[in-house]
Amino acid sequence: MQRSLIVSVAMLVGGCVTASAQDRPIAFIGARVIPIDGEEIPNGVLVVSGGKITGVGKAGAVQIPAGAERVDVSGKVVMPGLVDTHSHIGGFGGADGSAPIQPDVRIYDSLNVHSSGFRRARAGGLTTLNIMPGSGHLLSGQTVYVKLREARTIDDMFIFDGDGKIMGGIKMANGTNSHRKPPFPGTRGKSAALIRAQYIKAQEYRDKIARAKDDPEKMPDRDLGLEALVEVLEGKRMVHHHTHRHDDIMTVLRLAKEFGFRVVLHHVSEGWKVADEIAKAGVPCSVIMIDSPGGKLEAAELAFETGGILEKAGVLVAYHTDDWITDSRVFFRSAALGARGGLSRAGALASLTLAGAKMLDLEDRIGSLTVGKDADFIILDGDPLSVYAKVLETWIDGKKVFDRSDPEDRLHAVGGFGAGDDLRPYLCCMDHQEDQ
């Protein structure tokens, strides 16, 4: 808000601030740079320009453009912005209680961009999220991938694919969360049967469309839910699947094979029991890290060792906040506890960045400090896996979206009176009218 006002004032005074001011290259010099896709660089340089990374490497080996703003970050750590593959911030929406399978519902139709959760997430160093509906359904709707840019509406946060479509996956769940009174399933067998029947419908719908060969007379009526599932069948929409118990995990792998959908396993509390099977299926895992096992039957055998065991089996491992389950401000802790349980340091750092980017089909754009990728990065005052380290700044597309030295941002990083309130929307000109 403060920054928006400052920009407004600058525009009034200066007449016009063009994008070129923000396009001036910035060189961050002297930090320990952790690029993720290569070795850590003790004395490194990161150059960003026009919202992209234009240089990264050892000090002296990277050419700093003439006219670049030079920022001394010696003694600090620079690494990519964090990617959270599973978050529920921004208000809770998605499917309602009318049916267990609702692929027509889009989470982004229910998000409040002014929720304080977004500010806490930026304070935690998060830059990209997969925001999902909950796990009380077999299929609770379409998820959305967002970048935590300063935004007035959720649209400002969207990420678009090559065809200009809003990117997102689909949320599915098995196990006990979706067991409810009819029309919801009451058993695991019924859960799988309902889902299979739904995907068979989607296959038929897809085939009908193919047979129609663009003849409007032969085309089936539009069906929002089946349209989304066809995207899943065609591999254009990733399935993000809540699953805890070893047998539930195997059920997901079985269904993925039957219908050929691409899937990321989420939570995976008992993944350590079937790590080889997951590896053989070539399916990545986004793991939940919580302080103790239990709280529900299917998480009774959760272990800190899961990430390390999956990594050794050859599985791609990420962690997620599941915010509100864990707070985005301590996202680093999930990977660090994974390292405590045997995950490698490199694996732990990738699990918060590049691994997540791969699970969201965004590895060409984010997840590592690589020339050509988006300038999404964070500056820390210590080692990322240390409890004592603080995120000092968070940058997205070359713009600073969090600065711990700004009192308002600090409030959301640390907490305090007013930290939990929704951010007041910036309504253009309303403040000015009050002044008059």
Binding site for another protein (CB under 8 A): 120, 272-273, 290-297, 299-301, 303, 305, 309, 324-327, 330, 332-333, 336-337, 339-340, 342, 385-388, 390, 414-421
Smallest separation, CB 387 to another protein (Å):
5
Long-range contacts formed by 41-50: CB under 8 A, 24+ apart: 43/74, 44/78, 46/78, 46/369, 46/377, 48/375, 48/377, 48/395, 48/398, 49/23, 49/24, 49/25, 49/375, 49/398, 50/23, 50/398
Shortest Å, Cβ 297 to another protein: 6
| CA–CA separation, 244 and 260 (whole Å) | 21
Q: 6 or 414, CB closer to another protein? A: 414
- The least CB distance from residue 304 to another protein, in Å, is 8
**Closer residue to another protein, CB minimum distance, 50 or 341:** 341
Q: Which is nearer to another protein, 52 or 390 (CB)?
A: 390
Q: How far is the CB of 210 from another protein (least distance, A)?
A: 44
| HSE toward the beta carbon, residue 126, CA cutoff 13 A | 34
Q: For residues 23 and 4, give the distance between their C-alpha atoms in angstroms, rounded to a whole number.
A: 18
Q: Tokens for 113?
A: 């961009």
**To the nearest whole angstrom, how small is the minimum distance from the Cβ of residue 111 to another protein?**
17
**Of 34 and 229, which has the nearer Cβ to another protein?**
34
Q: Which run of H or E residues covers position 38?
A: none
Which structure tokens are listed for 10? Answer: 């600058």
**Cα(259)–Cα(256) distance, rounded to whole angstroms?**
5
Tell me how far apart the alpha carbons of residues 365 and 416 are, in angstroms, rounded to a whole number. Answer: 35
Nearest to 264 by CA among 351, 199, 163, 342: 351
Residue with tokens 């986004």: 286
**Shortest reach from residue 290's CB to another protein, in Å:** 4
Give the shortest CB-385-to-another protein separation in angstroms.
6
Closest distance of CB 355 from another protein, Å: 18
Q: Provide the minimum distance between the beta carbon of 395 and another protein in the complex, in angstroms, as a whole number.
A: 23
Q: Which residues contact 30 (CB under 8 A, 6 or more apart)?
A: 43, 44, 45, 59, 72, 73, 74, 75, 76
306-313 vs 331-340: helix axis angle to the nearest 10?
70
CB-nearer residue toward another protein: 343 or 369 = 343
In the complex, least distance from residue 296 CB atom to another protein, rounded to whole angstroms: 6
Tell me whether residue 201 or residue 410 sits nearer to another protein (CB atom): 410
Closer Cβ to another protein, 232 or 339, answer by number: 339
**Strand pairing category for 239-243 and 170-173:** parallel
Distance in angstroms (rounded) separating the CA atoms of residues 399 and 403: 11
Would you say 207 or 291 has its CB closer to another protein?
291
Please say whether the beta carbons of 351 and 319 come within 8 A. Answer: yes
- Pick the closer one to another protein by CB: 168 or 338: 338
Which residue's CB is nearer to another protein, number 237 or number 267? 267
CB of 254 to another protein, least distance (A): 23
Ramachandran quadrant class, 43 (left: phi over 0; alpha: psi -120 to 50; beta: rest): beta
**Long-range Cβ pairs for the range 312-316 (8 Å, 24+):** 312/275, 312/342, 313/275, 313/276, 313/278, 313/279, 314/279, 315/271, 315/275, 315/278, 315/279, 315/283, 315/284, 315/285, 316/284, 316/285, 316/355, 316/358, 316/359
Q: 167 or 336: whose CB is closer to another protein? A: 336
